Structure 1
Amino acid sequence: MNRCLFLTLFLILVFYQHPSALGQTLGMEEAVEATVNHYPTLAAQRSALEAFRANLQVLRDNRLPNVKVHDQVNLGTANGLSGSYFSMGLIVPTSGGRRPENASDLASGNIALASADWEVYNFGRFGAENKLARADIAVGESGLEREQFALRQVVINTFLDLVWLRQNLKIEQQNLARVDTVRRIINNLVQNGIRPGLDSSLASVELSRAKLSYYQMQEEYRRANVQLATLTGRQVSELEVDTTFNAGLLLVEPAPSAVLTSHPLLRYRNNLLTRQNAEIDMIRKSALPRVTLLTAISARGTSLDINNNFGPLGQGFGYSRTNFLLGAAATVNLIDFKRVKTRATQQQWRVKEAESLLTVEQVQLQNTLTMADSVMSSIRLSLRELPVTVRSATLAYQQRMSLYNNGIENILGITDALQLLTKVEKQVIDVQRRAVSVRLQKAYATSDFEPFFALFRRQ
């Protein structure tokens, strides 16, 4: 049974320490790239960005001349009467001479019309619309970059969970092996009558506790593995994570850095501020006059003669008169100036909001960087102290074990030494985790992830 236990632990240790041939090994940077390439939220952002880009062509198409061609053939009465009215779209217009009586004779007619109007000048509104459209594109591009930045943080944190869980899993394996070794030694001593049977029972309890801790850690590791597989779009059965960790680089002091305006979060806020200002310019110019070129050509035929007599219906289906009209029009709605003033005031508040959010983002990033720089030196002191702590705990365990074998120490002393050693080993991981977290905060604040990724690359 003991051989089976050690064989199982060995196989598990090999499985978690060496990537198998079942799937491709995935490093941290590869995990980030895989997520960015396939994640649905980013696909939605890219689609929205393409819609912003297509809007430029929509604006160009809207500025083309309006060209309308119309032809109609009519058959009806032609009884005219003096007077003016609003047709309201309900009264049929009639063009014909006035007669003393209402005639029921039919007249035919044919009208063809071609017209065009082209807004050629509007005191800069077209330019303002283009500027606003380009600002929307810039916001869309920086929004996509911001979404990628946020998603990268999620992937990195999930990957780090796997790194720390794998190291904790290794500690639980080592602890389980140590406890099983102690249990076998104690069982031999109990069987030979050197130690009381209570020691054997306590050793079995400690082994059971070690197994439970190992199983719990294994469950947490699998959960994190599933989450990373979901983010990267991989099958869980095919996912092999490269948890290379160069802990020695944590002792190296990183180069000085600062928060730059090119940071994805700041770039998004800056572009949003630019976009809000561009909309103010477009709002103000929307009330300015519009100069439009107008042209129209018409042709008409009728079965009525010049004396307003009804003729053969067939004569009305041809064209007997043509007209041409060319002009220019300037249009302005005076009330729009009042509306524009109100809309511009409203937009000014949006500009102030964008300015405040930009300031908040800058302050938060600067605070994050300052905090990371301030605690990094103290964490390095803890890292340098870790080897001493581990050596001391290991010696304490070995000495307690030696004293127990010589009949000087009891089972509780060995249990305490085992628990202390495991606690110290986990404390090493905790300190390293805190140090990596500080490095990640620095990378987040500066958007420079190169030194951080170096911690997890194979040398």
Structure 2
Amino acid sequence: MLKLNLVLSLAVSLATSSSFAQTLTLRDAVEQGLANYGNIKAKEYYLQSSLQTNEQVKRDFWPNLNIVAQQDFGTVNGQNGPLYGFGGLGVASSGAALPEQNWNAAFGALYLANVNWDIYTFGRKKERIELAKSDTKRLQADLGQEQFQHKIKIAAAYLNLLASQRLEKNQQMNLDRALVFLNIAATKVKNGILPGVDSTLASAEVSRAKISLNQARENVKEQNNKLTVLMGIPAKNLEIDTVLVQKTPIQLTPLSGNLIESNPMLQFYKSKIELGEQQLKLSTKEYLPTVSAFGVFQTRGSGFKSDYITDLQAYSTNYWKGVRPSRQNYLLGLGINWNLTSIARINKKISAQRFTNDALREEYQTAEAQLTAQLDAADVKIQLALKSDLEAPRQVSAAQQAYNQKMTMYKNGLATLVDVTQTLYTLNRAETDREIVHINLWQSLLLKAAAAGDFDIFNKEL
């Protein structure tokens, strides 16, 4: 008895949990997709990287402060003659030019602090900071248009899944009707009222209906998995909300004003143009000179005494005597650096950037024209889809009536199986048209939202 109660409790629990399975609304699908989709996450990271780069560019103009300390042990033989420290490979030993080599060695040390600062760059500092800001704006616009397009993709995938599920239901209804007249035909053939070919044809019709149902189920699975990918979740069977099947959008009239100017895609193109213009401004400053300030404080220690030139024994190999600072120097100054040959190189860079900016403007104008045409087409598609949506129920009603009449006549021997099959095709096509044209109405509204760059045009009708 206890075992039976446990089984019943488990059954009730499973039934309760399944009955309260969460239905995925379109808004929920969009929200999950924006939170989980990899491409959006990647562009969010790119944006964060750009914000850090902005700070790095500002700090690039801070003064350079170098602190150096070195301690050495070696000889100090000097020699008269020219020398270039090519590649920094020479030895900077300083000492008297003695008549012959000696191997006296002691410790020495150098300690210094060096500061240099580009105090005036003729506007390059400002333009580089503005360039970094423009790149951040471009990445922000790129993220915005990616999020907007992803909303559109998720909504389109959701509508496609809803349509495929409705078509699957229609094919199931079509199979049920085919099984009904198969049973009728089989009974009449068995009783000798109809020839055996009727039963055979009815059986073929059932097989065709099963194949159509399998194809519909395959399409449902395909559309289901497309939606899960866009949502950034593992593939699973989704239970979506069917409220859109019974609901018709209200605000379907054309909107006034030029809506596409705020389209995130156009905003992205604008940000690319602004970035190009800022790059051009920086390029015009690059051939100008740089004014720098610099300063050095240096202290040295040596194990060789000041009279080493006259007394070669005047040195100490003691480490502390050699590395202890004993002489100091400082230096302050201003300098200007101007690479005159850069003028010719920068001129070509400026010309190249101008061509690039022209190309970006052409891309913007092309995208603007495409979106304008898409918005105009969307308004027409909405009106035509609305008319078709009003007509579809009449088509279904007439087809259903014709099917019922032919089935009644067939049962009474007043119609052939071919007549019934024809009305079955008509009814199935009418039911399919009804689902397609209603989903097309929502898809046309989504197309309008995509062209206008305002997802709320679609979202507020849900």
TM-score (norm 2): 0.88
* 2: CA distance, partners of 1:49 / 1:429: 42
Deviations 1:204-249 (A, max 9, x none): 2212221221122112112221222233234444632113215552
- Once the two structures are overlaid, the 10-residue window that deviates more, 259-268 or 151-160, is 151-160
**Corresponding residue to 2:407 among 387, 394, 401:** 401
In the alignment, what sits opposite 1:366?
A: 372
| Conservation of the 8 A alpha-carbon contact between 2:260 and 2:368 | no
Deviations 1:129-158 (A, max 9, x none): 110101111111111122222322332222
| Conservation of the 8 A alpha-carbon contact between 2:51 and 2:136 | yes
Deviations 1:263-308 (A, max 9, x none): 1100100001000111111122222222222111111233132462
| Conservation of the 8 A alpha-carbon contact between 2:156 and 2:446 | no
Partner secondary structure for residue 202 of structure 1: helix
| Conservation of the 8 A alpha-carbon contact between 1:23 and 1:238 | no
User: Do the aligned partners of residues 318 and 377 (structure 1) sit closer, same or farther apart at CA in structure 2, a change above 3 Å counting?
Assistant: closer
- Per-residue deviation at 1:49? 1.3
- Per-residue deviation at 1:318? 2.6
- Per-residue deviation at 1:185? 2.5
Q: Map 1:74-113; keep pairs closer than 5 Å.
A: 74-88=72-86, 89-113=88-112
In the alignment, what sits opposite 1:391?
A: 397
> Percent identity between the aligned chains?
29
User: Do the aligned partners of residues 253 and 297 (structure 1) sit closer, same or farther apart at CA in structure 2, a change above 3 Å counting?
Assistant: closer
- Per-residue deviation at 1:21? 4.3
* 2: CA distance, partners of 1:291 / 1:21: 77
| Conservation of the 8 A alpha-carbon contact between 2:410 and 2:416 | yes
Unaligned runs of 5+ in 1: 1-14
In the alignment, what sits opposite 1:275?
A: 275
Partner secondary structure for residue 140 of structure 1: helix
In the alignment, what sits opposite 2:193?
A: 194
In the alignment, what sits opposite 1:305?
A: 306
User: Do the aligned partners of residues 334 and 405 (structure 1) sit closer, same or farther apart at CA in structure 2, a change above 3 Å counting?
Assistant: same
RMSD: 2.3
- Per-residue deviation at 1:329? 1.5
* 1: CA distance, partners of 2:436 / 2:338: 70
* 2: CA distance, partners of 1:437 / 1:239: 20
User: Do the aligned partners of residues 219 and 312 (structure 1) sit closer, same or farther apart at CA in structure 2, a change above 3 Å counting?
Assistant: same
* 2: CA distance, partners of 1:70 / 1:449: 60
1:424 aligns with 2:430: yes
**Corresponding residue to 1:325 among 322, 327, 331:** 331
* 2: CA distance, partners of 1:108 / 1:419: 104
In the alignment, what sits opposite 1:31?
A: 29
- Per-residue deviation at 1:128? 0.6
1:175 aligns with 2:174: yes
- Per-residue deviation at 1:107? 4.6
Unaligned runs of 5+ in 2: 1-14
In the alignment, what sits opposite 1:9?
A: none
In the alignment, what sits opposite 2:350?
A: 344
* 2: CA distance, partners of 1:380 / 1:393: 21
- What is the one-letter code of the residue matched to 1:317? V
Deviations 1:135-193 (A, max 9, x none): 11111111112222232233222212111111111111211222222222233333333
| Conservation of the 8 A alpha-carbon contact between 2:115 and 2:294 | yes
* 1: CA distance, partners of 2:67 / 2:194: 110
| Conservation of the 8 A alpha-carbon contact between 2:120 and 2:292 | yes
- Per-residue deviation at 1:24? 2.5
User: Do the aligned partners of residues 407 and 109 (structure 1) sit closer, same or farther apart at CA in structure 2, a change above 3 Å counting?
Assistant: closer
Task: Report how many residues are paired.
Answer: 439
- Once the two structures are overlaid, the 10-residue window that deviates more, 316-325 or 19-28, is 19-28
In the alignment, what sits opposite 2:39?
A: 41
* 2: CA distance, partners of 1:73 / 1:163: 78
Partner secondary structure for residue 253 of structure 1: coil
Partner secondary structure for residue 64 of structure 1: coil
